[in-house]
Chains A and B, each alone.
Chain A
Amino acid sequence: MTVLRGRGIAAVNYPTGMNLGGDPSQALIHSTPTGAFMIVLSSTDLGQGLRTVMAQIGAETLGVPMETVHVDTADSDTGPHCMGTFASRATHRVGNAIIEAANEARDALLDVAADELEAAPEDLEPDGEGSIRVVGSPDRSISVTDVALAAHFKHGRTISGRGMYMKPKSDVVPETGEMDPDSTEAHACTVAEVEVDTETGRVRVLSLRSAYEVGRAINPALVQGQITGGAWMGMSHALYETTAPYYPAIDHGPTDFNHYLMPGAPELPEISAEILEIPSVNGPFGMKGVGEMTANSPIPAIANAITDAIGVQITELPITPEKVLRALAERDGAGDAHVS
């Protein structure tokens, strides 16, 4: 048995958001009578952690404890419009909308607190722990709950805010392709190491080491979750997945998880990542969309590592053991052949 080793790299960009038809999302925020904050959206959580991240952005902007901020998602009767969760856009669009809504709600909160504390609103600040205090006078403060109660039952005011973020539509100039297709771009660079068994054609991915530039990791564990899951999915796309194993023929399409192959635990490579944070100009707290990109750089990095190992490029996905064996045969028969 001969095992060849190879290393490959790939560097990619990934746009945040989209340009078609305008790309808006809205958020509404209001306080309950006792000072909990409801963020109402029609956005969806696919498992990436949208609700958690939106609560963080809301709590940070309002200046109230995270646990008093609730996120209600995806009821068209109550939630304002959102284009949807795709195109690595949700955190960027909805996060910006929440910042706007939270600023308005916070102004209302401070206005009422100012009346209660007999101070000017601009002299007040939330302490992040459930109270509003007068800057420089730590003994003069009032709880958010008391402010909310006063707003509801004494002042007849709502503590609420409306937020909207829209990337205006960018029509493409048909002759030149001039357009503004996104809001910002995240980046990734992956270094893959592989072993190729020249008798079976099997590729073993030993490691995927990547740097991801994400603007700002609003919740580092959730970003890491996208990275680990994305690296696995990218590896899966590179080596295993297809709905048409005999493309372009449509025969023998898999219909179950046994035949739609994805790597399992024994196939897992060592996955390590460095998260860089260089704030974007327009993302909430500088963030960039990271959800989709994490699956992209592993694919060409693995393909390039296979080339490094066997000396010939295989340029059709997925790179199956059969394609590896055929490429090796062609290489040995026809020199440094390009095999697809």
Chain B
Amino acid sequence: MVQEYVLAATPEEAAELIAGDPEAVVMGGGTTLMPKATLGELNGRRVIGLARAGLDYVERNGATRIGAMTPLRALGEIGDVPGLAEAARSIGSWPLRVSATVGGNLLAPPPYGDLAPVLLALDAEIRVAGSGGERTAPLAEAIEAGPAGPGELLLEVGIPAAAGSVSYRRCARRELNAPPIVTVAVRVWADGDEIVEARVAIGAVGPRPLRVGGAEAALSGSTGDAGAIDAAVAAGAAAVEAVDDAVASAWYRRRMTELHLRRAIEAAVAAERG
């Protein structure tokens, strides 16, 4: 049996509880942890819950700020942040999206965590509370370091008003409710025929989601021509460390990474050209 389940009532209380007990288990929506609790793996542990901590919100003010406890179901309703609703709706099933949260998805072990590529492509930042107060970090950096360490609380994801066009692609063995083989998000913005800048992010292939700087560089300053796309795809394929799991081998993951990266770039470029 779990020793205690403490539901924080505010973000501040949550941050305080977590900072005060780094041994405690922090639980968001419960989709990852509740099956462990059922199997007795949290017996004797103190669990700090965020469900009532006031972190379930979406605020719009040019930029979009999303509380870490916002359910994916609510994210699926945000129509005007490109790629975001599409990515949220591609995850799990409707009842699962009622419980699963933005923060939980960012912290979920691969192949789960489909939001990250889109958020990376949108230059998202995260806000984290820790013993030294709050800090803000670009998501790309945070993923490298681990979004929230022991004693830390992921509070919020911020998405700046995004220029350009986004394409999100998710490859899975089954159309609905299937673990991803690869998830790709691409954002490009153009000035006339020239792509000014690009974001290329890939998830579900390897140990963590990543931005592919080489692919972004290949596209930036190009016209989205075949040569640039070939170079971007090659950079993406080189960047991923594909893994085997129950639904796909590393070999297939690499093949699908190349295919879906190409398709995503082509779609984003086409959309940006209108």
Contact = CB atoms under 8 A, between A and B. Distances in A.
A240 to B, nearest CB: 7
A306 to B, nearest CB: 16
A263 interface: yes
Nearest to B179: A258
B174 A264 contact: yes
Nearest to A265: B176
A291 to B, nearest CB: 26
Interface residues on A, range: 20 to 34
A253 B245 CA distance: 8
- Most B CB within 10 A of own CB, among A200, A252, A258, A321: A258
Contacts of B174: 240, 261, 263-264, 266-267
Q: Is the interface of A mostly helix, strand, loop or mixed?
A: loop
Contacts of B251: 322
Interface string B230-260: 0000000000000011111101100110010
A199 B247 contact: no
A258 B178 contact: yes
Of A261, A263, A266, most buried by chain B (CB within 10 Å of CB) is: A261
A325 B252 contact: yes
A199 B259 CA distance: 8
Interface string A228-267: 0000000000001000011000011110001111011111
Contact of B175 (A245, A266, A320): A266
Contacts of A246: 244, 249
Given A200-B259, A264-B174, A322 B249 contact: yes
Given A200-B259, A251-B244, A267 B175 contact: yes
Contact of A322 (B175, B178, B248): B248
A313 B175 CA distance: 25
Given A258-B179, A264-B177, A252 B245 contact: yes
Give the most central of A253, A259, A266: most B CB within 10 Å.
A259
A320 B251 CA distance: 13
A29 to B, nearest CB: 45
Nearest to A239: B173
Given A200-B171, A266-B175, A261 B259 contact: no
30 contacts: A199-B259, A200-B256, A201-B252, A240-B173, A240-B174, A245-B247, A245-B249, A246-B244, A252-B244, A252-B245, A252-B246, A253-B246, A254-B246, A258-B179, A259-B179, A259-B246, A263-B174, A264-B175, A264-B176, A264-B178, A266-B174, A266-B176, A267-B174, A320-B173, A320-B252, A321-B173, A321-B252, A322-B249, A325-B252, A325-B255
Given A261-B178, A263-B174, A267-B174, 9 more contacts: A199-B259, A200-B259, A245-B247, A258-B178, A259-B245, A259-B247, A265-B176, A322-B249, A322-B251
